[in-house]
Amino acid sequence: MANPDVQALDQRLSRVEKQNEQILKCVMKKKDQDSFFSLVEENKERGNWSGRFDFFLSCLGYAVGLGNVWRFPYLAYKNGGGAFFIPYCICLGIVGIPIFFMELSLGQYSSCGPVTCWKFAPLFTGIGYGMVAVSALVAIYYNMIIAWAIYYLFASFTSELPWETCIGKSWSTALCLDNVNITDEAGCASMNWSLNTTLGTCYDDNGILRGMFNETLAKENDIKRILPSQEYFDFVAIGQGKSGGIDDLGPVNWKLVLCYLAAFIFVVLTLSKSIKTSGKVVYFTATFPYVVLIILFVRGLTLEGSSAGIEFYITPDLSKLSDSQVWKDAAVQIFFSLSASWGGLIALSSYNRFHNDCLADAITVAFGNCLTSFFAGFVIFSYLGNLATTLDVPVGEVADSGPSLAFVVYPYAVTKIPPSPFWAIIFFLMLITLGVDSEFVLVETVTTSALDRFPTLRKYKFVTVVTICFTFFLLGLTLTTNGGNYMLTVMDDYSGGWNVLVIALLECISVGYVYGVRRFLDDIETMIGKSFCGPVSFPWFVAKWWWAICWCLLTPLAVTFVLIFSWATYEGYSDKRDKYPEWADALGWMMTMFVLVTIFVASLCVFIRTPGSFGERMKYLTTPTNEWGPALVKHRREAKKYVDKWDTSFEVDPHGKEALENEVSPNDINVEMYDKPGKENLAYVSDRM
């Protein structure tokens, strides 16, 4: 007969062994847990963000880019100042945020990048390839702008900024600001300069312009003084002044090549390991621009004429609202500003944990991005007002769009603020950090798509990132030539224009009508629950029908309007034929068509490879595959209760991963150490499962 004491001891030993096994599993899995946020990595195959804040900052950094500094402020004053905010906010509500939220939801629900997230309707797989094509094209030229900022950053480490004056500089022309004397006719005569009363100018014996006695008359004849920073930008930094146009690219500028290479090296070092690396880098790159903008704004308010610049920026012209061009600009700016339909948002959210509140993220990031644009306008125009006062010209004559605002107007403005090299360094550091966040995601979009399409490459991510960046670097070498800015302009105008609007329209059709908007809303509810926005807890059922109306009606109508209006008013470079011949328009259309053809060819290939008749193929390709849904079995089990009313054939474990459900999570057990009478330091484990 067995001894009861021995049996009790055996039972205790058996229990301790089982508990020790659980503790060992827990400790081993702690390696995958972030010590700061106490979050366990759910998807070991693809990885997750270390914490929600990593994702939030990455999204914010992706959305907030270089365009916030120059594009939005310029469009605002061009289209009615403060009145522009009305169409801008309307487009944000019915186009920007709905597309933003849709893409975050797609990526998070499926844990797939932009190429592989279309298993709910395989016919639309081409949309993902189109997104990758857009991101690739934009990544090539966007990194060139970062390279310019790196060039200027190095040039700023000096006691006197090289673009501060054009006196005695070999690169300056006769029209450079400091080389032109503003005088009167008597002043010209006293210098023995010949007068041209038709142009309001005077010249020396060699026929070189030396002064102006009537600036108004000179401007009417297109004779204007040029800022030293403009000539430095044209003849030294990028060499554009040495090129006759896009058909005269000229030699490669080796300094720009090195800066371009340095920008890609930084991207490789950041993305080569995992999203956890880039997730930590953005803690600096996404927040530093805000610190600099606040500092520069405070400094700008102290400058003479700053109030005039700000007044010019925000003064509303309500008559502009009747112009359809204003509404078109507002809608295009929303896509450009939020980087929607480029694939980056899907790539970023695919690394989220399944129950992340993506709706709160979408609203917060979208409004944060737009408020950043609005605030950046105050910063920029405070300095433009000062510059206009210095030059004694209207603010509208010193404000311009594109690179000239960031690399010409502002650099010259900081020369008037001592110590100018310090402010120049701060400004260009801000430009770099604004740019690299977006560049990280553009390259990550291409990388994630490649790794999802070919999972075996995940073991060689460093090689994959290096290969992609090196390819982009080679393709972008034309941008480092003297005429590279003309090529960059074409890429900027055509790479992310109409094709992005087409992608957005196809997204709405695929989700709203093919997959079914009500089923998609149920998928979102599976992730975020019955409420959203954390402690505020807005009920989901109140908001979800707004998104349904947007995705099925308002958003596609608005996008269609912008597309039709853009095509109807298209003029290309007809007014710039001296710099952009007709083949420049053709080159731009080739970039646009490259994306559109990629979309439809990829979908056509899927259609051809699918067996059956036409009707059978269409039915299969517009029906979710058995793989569609959450990546992990435990989340698919949660989704099934929603999916059953739409699709009873939904498989909880299509890949045979049920065994993974039995693994112990680090948060499943709680270890407590304490003393009990007669025993020393025993571990008591309580199972919380």
User: Residues annotated in the binding site for Na(+), as ranges?
Assistant: 61, 63-64, 68, 337, 369, 434, 437-438
Q: Tell me, rounded to whole angstroms, the distance of Cα 278 from its chain centroid.
A: 14
CA distance 209 to 173: 10
**DSSP β-bridge partners for residue 196:** 201
Number of other CB atoms surrounding residue 265 within 10 Å: 13
Amino acid residing at 556: P
Q: Tell me, rounded to whole angstroms, the distance of Cα 389 from its chain centroid.
A: 34
CA distance 430 to 375: 15
Do residues 142 and 176 touch, judged by C-beta distance below 8 A?
A: no
Structure tokens belonging to residue 4:
């009861």
Do residues 463 and 451 touch, judged by C-beta distance below 8 A?
A: no
Residue 168's region, left for phi above 0, alpha for psi from -120 to 50, else beta, is left
Number of other CB atoms surrounding residue 128 within 10 Å: 28
Tokens 């975020």 correspond to 528
**DSSP β-bridge partners for residue 673:** 683
Q: Which residues are annotated as a binding site?
A: 61, 63-64, 68, 337, 369, 434, 437-438
Query: Which residues are within 8 A (CB) of 683 and not within 5 positions of it... i.e. 6 or more apart?
Result: 19, 23, 671, 672, 673
Number of other CB atoms surrounding residue 198 within 10 Å: 9
CA distance 91 to 78: 18
H helix runs in 315-416, sequence order? 324-338, 344-349, 358-391, 403-404, 410-414
Do residues 368 and 64 touch, judged by C-beta distance below 8 A?
A: yes
Q: What does the buried/exposed string (b/e) look like for 415-438 if buried means 16 or more CB atoms within 10 Å of the residue's CB?
A: bbbeebbebbbbbbbbbbbbbbbb
Going through 401-533 in order, the beta strands assigned E by DSSP cover: 531-532
Tell me the three-class secondary structure of 180-206, residue by residue: CEECCHHHHHHCCCEEECCCCEEECCC
User: What φ, ψ does residue 228 adopt, rounded to 5°?
Assistant: -55, -35
